[in-house]
Amino acid sequence: MKKVNKDNCKKPFGEKVVVLGGDFRQILSVVRKGPRAAIVKATICSSKIWKDCKVLKLTKNMRLTGDTTNQSRNELKHFANWILKIGDGLLNAYENGEAHIQIPEELCILHGENPLLSLVDFVYPYIVRNIANANYFED
């Protein structure tokens, strides 16, 4: 981009628009054996380019607008609010930034000897049988 304008080499991403998606509360950097302060310092919000970023927020939960019943819509809304409270540090938060979160039993996968395999089976049922089916992951 410095061929377009020499000053672009001093600007983040050469003055190109870049979209970073996701919920920054749920995306933590990996700092091997690092203390909490090192992990927080490694996040995008602590980066020197953060001052040049413009944060846009989604304001409507699209999961709540689909073809759902009132009961399932209310359950989704309750879950979404619970997740937001955790992300905002409003659920059983202590002053040191840590919290004890009780996960509701209906969100837990309690059966099976291997919890990770049970989770994969729950999210992707019959994955081995459908691994070659490109549409399987779209659905």
Q: In this predicted model, what pLDDT tens digit does every residue of 29-45 receive, in sequence order?
A: 788 999 988 988 888 88
pLDDT at 68 over 80: no
CA distance 36 to 16: 32
- Nearest-angstrom CA–CA distance, 85 and 102: 13
Tokens (6 digits) for 100: 């004890």
The pLDDT of residue 64 is 66
pLDDT of residue 46: 86
Look at residue 76 and tell me whether its pLDDT is greater than 70.
yes
* Mean pLDDT (the chain, rounded): 83
What's the Cα-to-Cα distance from 92 to each of 11, 23, 27, 28, 86, rounded to whole Å?
41, 20, 20, 20, 8
Exposed / middle / buried, residue 78 (Cβ in 10 Å: 0-12, 13-18, 19+): exposed
Give percent helix, percent strand, percent coil of the chain, each to the nearest 5: 45, 0, 55
> For residue 60, what pLDDT band results from cuts at 50, 70 and 90?
confident
Q: With pLDDT > 90 as the criterion, what percentage of the chain qualifies?
A: 4
Lowest mean pLDDT among 56-65, 67-76, 108-117: 56-65
- Confidence check: pLDDT of 97 > 70: no
Q: What is the dihedral of CA 7, 10, 11, 15, to 10 degrees?
A: 40
- Which is more confident, 7 or 72? 7
